[in-house]
Chains A and B, each alone.
Chain A
Amino acid sequence: CWISGQALLGSSRIIFSVLIKNLRERDLQTVRQMEDNVVLLDFWPSSFGMRVRIALAEKGIKYESHEENLLDKSPLLVEMNPVHKLIPVLIHNGKPICESLIILQYIDEVWHDKSPLLPSDPCKRSQARFWADYIDKKIYSIGKRVMMGKGEEQEVAKKELIECLKTLEGELGDKLYFGGETIGLVDVALVPFYTWFYSYETCGNFSIEAECPKLVAWAKRCMERETISKSLPDPHKIYSFVLQLKQKLGK
């Protein structure tokens, strides 16, 4: 898979070189943008991968997606992320960028002329980074405990999850999005977890919408954007995946 991927990239480069020779000067600018080779190493149910899909869609960046099998990691993944061997990894013109929030900031800095994810004011930027970091520290690990836990452990995790989501709801306030009038870093960081809400609720036998209606309303608003809805899988598919995982882990 890796070898044929490399051959494909190689022949693509050859095709591009031929195209360049035959195009007029004013077309060269467009071609140079096309030459931006962007590859995303991804795994379909990963909230972190979803973040990058959304950012790339928002910026209108064309890219190649490689679906990874995390039980049998590709040589490309191991080469591009030798430290963690995790997805997502963005490979831009052969150079890897790892860690989803770092990838989002990289995308925002390189493709800065469209749909900014971060505001220009340093104070507002720091607020966005703070909340993105909060989401990173809390939601994934607590959500996992809600889905995999039992009895008292699960009850504690459910309470913690609702507390976090309520805190985020407080930060959202009356704004349309965390980014204000348009979506920003925090929206992109959080909305992928919305596809996991159904799994949290079903495993934990509770309703997130009942506890955090404003947050769910925000998520539904986000889902009206094609860049988001097309980047996120069906929550029921996520739940099937969770059930398979639970079975494998004997839970």
Chain B
Amino acid sequence: VGEKGSHIDLSKMEEVKLFGTCLSPYSYRVIWALKLKGIPYEYIEEDLSNKSPSLLQYNPVHKKIPVFVHGGKPICESLVILEYIEETWPENPLLPSDPHDKAIARFWAKFVDDKGPIIWTMVRTTGEEQEKAKKDTLEMLRTIEEHALVEKKFFCGERIGITDFAFIGVAYWLEAIEDILGLKLLEEDSFPRLHAWIKHFKQEPIIRENLPNREELFAFLKRRREKLLASPLSLTAG
């Protein structure tokens, strides 16, 4: 093992695997973190209708993706995974170093995690239920517009970070959802800061080069909506 320093380097070099699904925003959060930090990894695509024994072994509690495995040890829940990646590979930081700024970044990441899934409710409902989901989505967007992005390029400041990754999962997927439902919720006039932020994240090479194909996502969401309206199953994963 040798000196403490070289032991940490060795452990960083241990095999990294990511179990995910190609159209899940939660998988992408982890992919962006790994790409930004230049961490090589093996990606395993899961079929959620037929979960692999590995997935069930690594995440017996939730049985969900993404699951991150480093040197054989699994870590589950995307925000927990992101914090682990940040602590193990501190280069190209995804969180501010100041404890208060870090707390703000975590606050907004949690906010997105708690409120974000409402966009999927719009996909799997109709009528009054869907109208409520639209209203809740607008309220979430308004809160972020008014409180989270004041005078900042990204959620954590000048650099893209964990909170942006969490929210890209809402913004990009929301664009596809708006397409299939024939809606426009994220209007530029009503949400100028959000629109500026969307422009910035789409210019980041790591994000631009690692987003799901729009047509594929559109087709997937359209199929899921048709299937879900026929039976009440949840769309979310991870």
Binding site for B on A (CB under 8 A): 82-83, 92, 95, 97-99, 102-103, 105-106, 109-110, 122-123, 125-127, 129-130, 133-134, 167
Main secondary structure of the interface of A (DSSP, over half): helix
Give complex CA distance A125, B102 in Å.
16
Question: Is B110 positioned at the interface, with any CB of A under 8 Å from its CB?
Answer: yes
CA–CA, A125 and B84, complex, Å:
8
Select one of A97, A109, A126 contacting B80, CB under 8 A: A126
Q: Which residue of chain A has its CB nearest to the CB of B111? A: A83
Contact of B83 with A126 in the complex, beta carbons under 8 Å: yes
A130 and B80 contact, Cβ closer than 8 Å, known pairs A102-B110, A122-B88, A123-B75: yes
**Which residues of chain B in 76-92 are interfacial with respect to chain A, using CB atoms and an 8 Å cutoff?**
76-77, 79-81, 83-84, 87-88
Given A83-B147, A97-B100, A106-B99, are A122 and B107 neighbors across the interface (CB < 8 Å)?
Answer: no
Does B10 reach chain A (CB closer than 8 Å)? no
Q: Which residues of B line the A interface, CB within 8 A?
A: 61, 70, 73, 75-77, 79-81, 83-84, 87-88, 99-100, 102-103, 106-107, 110-111, 143, 147
**Nearest chain A CB to B88's CB is how many angstroms away?**
5
B residues in contact with A129, CB < 8 Å? 77, 80, 83
Q: A102-B107, A110-B99, A126-B80 are in contact. Are A82 and B147 (CB under 8 A)?
A: yes
Q: Please give, as numbers and ranges, the residues of chain B lying within 8 Å of A83 by CB-CB distance.
A: 107, 111, 143, 147
A109 touches B83 (CB 8 A): no
Cβ-defined contact, A126 with B81, below 8 A = yes
Docked Cα-Cα span, A83 to B145, in Å, equals 11
List of B residues within 8 angstroms of A133 by Cβ: 77, 79-80
Picked from B70, B80, B83, B107, the residue with its CB within 8 Å of the CB of A99 is: B107
Complexed CA–CA distance, A25 and B76 (Å) = 50
Which of A103, A105, A123, A126 has its CB near the most chain B CB atoms (within 10 A)? A126
Q: How far is the CA of A163 from the CA of B61 in the complex (A)?
A: 11
Residue from A105, A125, A126 within 8 A of B103 (CB atoms) = A105
Closest beta carbon of chain B to A59's beta carbon, Å: 14
Q: How far is the CA of A130 from the CA of B60 in the complex (A)?
A: 13
B61 A134 Cβ-Cβ under 8 A: yes
Q: Which residues of A contact B111 (CB under 8 A)?
A: 83
Name B's interface SS: helix
Task: Across the interface, name the chain A residue whose C-beta is closest to B143.
Answer: A83
A103 to B103, CA, bound (A): 7
Which of A102, A106, A130 is the one whose CB lies under 8 Å from B76?
Answer: A130
Question: In the bound complex, do residue A105 and residue B147 qualify as a contact, i.e. CB atoms below 8 Å apart?
Answer: no
- Residues of B near A99 (CB, < 8 A) are 106-107, 110
| Chain B nearest CB, measured from A62 CB (Å) | 19
Bound complex: CA A83 to CA B110 (Å): 12
A136 to chain B, nearest CB (A): 9
What is the minimal beta-carbon distance from A131 to any residue of chain B, in angstroms? 9
A98 to B109, CA, bound (A): 12
Tell me the nearest residue of chain A to B59, going by C-beta. A130
Contacts A/B (CB < 8 Å), 5 sampled:
A95-B100, A97-B107, A125-B84, A130-B77, A134-B61
Q: Which residue of B lies closest to A136 (CB)?
A: B110
Q: Which residues of B contact A125 (CB under 8 A)?
A: 83-84, 87
Cβ 8 A contact of B84, one of A92, A105, A122, A134: A122
Separation in Å of the A135 CB from the closest CB of chain B?
A: 12
Known: A83-B147, A105-B106, A130-B75. 7 other contacts (CB 8 A): A83-B111, A105-B103, A110-B99, A125-B87, A127-B75, A129-B77, A133-B79
* Closest B residue to A109 using CB positions: B99
Min Cβ gap B51→A in Å is 19
A126-B100 contact, Cβ under 8 Å, with A83-B143, A134-B61? no
